[in-house]
Amino acid sequence: MLSDDTDLLLSSGKLTLAFALCEGRLNLKGFARAGGCEWLNEGPGELWKIEFLSPDGEKFELAGDEASLADIASIPPALKFTWTVRLRDETASVVVTVRLDKDDSLSYWSLEADLPDAWRIVRADFPITSNIKLRENLKLAAPNGWGMEYAMAPGVGYDGIYPSCAAAMQFVALYDRHEGIYIGAHDPKANHKRFRVQAEESGVAFTLVNYPSIPKDHHTFRLPFEVAIGVFIGDYYDAAQIYREFTYTTRWGRAGPVSKRPIPQWVKATDLWLRPDGSPEDNVEVTRRALKYFGVTTSLHWYRWHVIPYDTLYPEYFPPLPGFVEGVQALQNEGAHVMPYINGRLCDPNSATWNDEGGSKWAALQEDGEPYTEVYGSKVPLNVMCPFTEEWQSKIAGIVDRLIRECGVDGVYIDQIAAAYAVQCFDPSHGHSIGGGSFWVEGYRKMLDRVRTLLPEDRMITSEENAECWIDQFDALLLVNTHTDHPPIPLFPAVYSGRTINFGFMYLPADDLERSLPFRVKMGRGFLWGTQIGWIQPARIMAPDAVNEAEFLRNLARCRRFGHEFFTFGRFLGPVDARGDFPQLKGVATGSFGGEYEIDVPAVMACAWQSEAGDLAVALVNLSDRRESVSIEFPLEKAGLDPAEESFVDLYDPEGLCSPAKLRSTSARIEVAQRSAVIAVVRN
């Protein structure tokens, strides 16, 4: 045992952790990169907090600083800490192991407990780090949608339940201008968890809240994954590369690149999405005009195609509106592909499914036996269904099958699966361990496997948002829910580019086109970050007062068709600094979820991509109404290309190849037309 104020160190040569006892409590007091700055303030730390469930159903919450530290063991390359916990008249033990391998910049943390008979753990907050320094210029990267970057200051925080659009991946990163801390749950089974980061005057606190499944007869609890905590040099992109390596150990991450996956070719070739909404008579003709105007491979995401009102009486989608089948055929004859909307998660308690088919038995139940109820724009209460139930899996699979067979659609959008957060389910009749754990992910995976067995060749399925644990089962993912109250960052493509297809970028409030700049920024960033752009109602973009915005969208979509080897199949290499005598564009926009936000962006933005063949591309977009001359530095070394070798650069604008030339330096000056884009491709 250590005495008070004695440090115990773990060091790999790249990372050093210092633990200390203070008044019998264990603190993590030091966390630093070799040659770097100390990341922690002096102060106490809990490390863990656990909610225990007694045999008679009473809950007890205890934290590490309330338990008795019974033993510290050094088991190279790890330290093992054991606490004794009093549970009424019985005793439990909690063990934390911290492993740090030689020459590794990541430490690995695990938690387990031995429990008395009939005692269970229903929540485990681990790890907890409450004393991270609130450095100057400290930022947080969080996996909310595309990714969001928070300027950390007292009162600023992030809270995301995984899996969902609010926590699409299992890591966060804190960084300043020099280095950062990476915290990632390296969990290949995608268990139910919650990420919390909160900045206060005293520092920044991180908590990973874990919601385990609750077994009936196990005395031993073990968190079923390790948490990686380490240091890195760089910003969010560099942190994303750490997580990216982990993802190749998961079933969703090792499914292979988009180029090798059996995704229909028309999905891979799509450059633009339009969003018909409502009856065929209000949509078919204007969509035809839009298809002719844009002149690129276009797919259609059709909402409100059914007789029932939106978000009402789900899942009774049939019959479709009169003329829907004929409208689908008419637009397919124009070369488009049609994908209607359904919801894969919610059931209306007034529906026939709920009342006549026994759907009430398939709902996810809270501890009190009541279903989870949510209310959206329709103001109709809708209940969350348990994806583990075979009946709900069969219901959704049957709807998809019927849409394809009876309506002739090319694919089906199954809303909310990859967006809405997981919930705990306490219905023992569903066949999963009650509580949390991985049943939520496993249930939807079984549902999607069932759906895919019914898909004819060249048909597809998609979902809302980008919770990572199903990317191998969907052919594409709509990505529009990223909030506007903090700047978006391309965190998701930094991890998953080349392994999934995204379409859309952000919601488009009613005044986005009228104000113009918000629309241009969203479409421009979407183009640079690799998404299939658009996702707008044809009537809106073809309106007489949206001429400039339609031209901008057309130019981007037409330019994008020459960059598939990068945007669809390649790897995202991050933003590139575009320099020139162009202005900052400033404005105010309506937030995606209410309120307003400020826009302050350069008129020209750029990002780099690398193809599977190893070629490098820098994509540039000009948001302004004037032609701009731009200087860029090609990130050749980042792409593994030798700057000393002679290279060739091809420039593509919306009409195609416009300027092939030898690249005689690592930089170039490029002209980008107003409201347009260019792709500069470097080939050795």
β-strand pairing of 476-478 with 460-464:
parallel
CB 339 within 8 A of CB 302: yes
Q: Which CATH superfamily groups domain 7-247? A: alpha-galactosidase from lactobacil brevis (2.70.98.60)
Return the higher-pLDDT residue of 651 and 661.
Answer: 651
3-class secondary structure for 461-518? EEEECCCHHHCCCCCEEECCCCCCCCCECCHHHHHHECCECEECCCCCCCCHHHHCHH
In terms of Cα–Cα distance, which of 342, 258, 261, 328 is closest to 299?
Answer: 328
Question: For position 501, what pLDDT does the model report?
Answer: 98
d(CA 556, CA 349): 44
| Residue matched to tokens 């998660």 | 345
CB 172 within 8 A of CB 143: yes
Residue 2's pLDDT band (boundaries 50, 70, 90)?
Answer: very low
pLDDT greater than 70 at residue 36: yes
Exposed/middle/buried for residue 217 (C-beta within 10 Å: 0-12, 13-18, 19+): exposed
Give the CA radius of gyration of the chain: 26
Residue 582's pLDDT band (boundaries 50, 70, 90)?
Answer: very high
Residue 215's pLDDT band (boundaries 50, 70, 90)?
Answer: confident
Could you tell me which residues are beta bridge partners of residue 229?
A: 107, 183
Question: For position 642, what pLDDT does the model report?
Answer: 87
Q: Which helix (H) or strand (E) holds 651?
A: strand 647-653
Residue 407's pLDDT band (boundaries 50, 70, 90)?
Answer: very high
Look up the pTM and report it.
0.97
Question: For position 7, what pLDDT does the model report?
Answer: 78
d(CA 234, CA 178): 6
pLDDT greater than 70 at residue 605: yes
Beta strands in 485-582 (DSSP E): 502-503, 533-536, 571-576, 578-579
Question: For position 135, what pLDDT does the model report?
Answer: 92
Residues 476-488 have a mean pLDDT of 96
Task: Give the mean pLDDT of the chain.
Answer: 95
Cis peptide before 635 (omega within 30 of 0): no
pLDDT greater than 90 at residue 659: no
Question: For position 5, what pLDDT does the model report?
Answer: 58
Question: For position 1, what pLDDT does the model report?
Answer: 44
Question: For position 4, what pLDDT does the model report?
Answer: 58
pLDDT greater than 90 at residue 379: yes
Count other Cβ atoms within 10 Å, centred on residue 382.
Answer: 24
3-class secondary structure for 23-49? CCEEEEEEEEECCCCECECCCCCCEEE
pLDDT tens by residue, 89-145: 999 999 999 999 999 999 999 999 999 999 999 999 999 999 999 999 999 999 999
Domain borders along the chain are: 7-247, 573-683
In terms of Cα–Cα distance, which of 413, 420, 421 is closest to 462?
Answer: 413
For the record, the structure tokens of 557 come out as 């979509």
Cis peptide before 602 (omega within 30 of 0): no
| 573-683: CATH number | 2.60.40.1180
CB 249 within 8 A of CB 188: yes
Question: For position 666, what pLDDT does the model report?
Answer: 86
Distance of CA 424 to the CA centre of its chain: 21
Cβ neighbours for 44, distance < 8 A, ≥ 6 positions apart: 22, 25, 27, 65, 130, 131
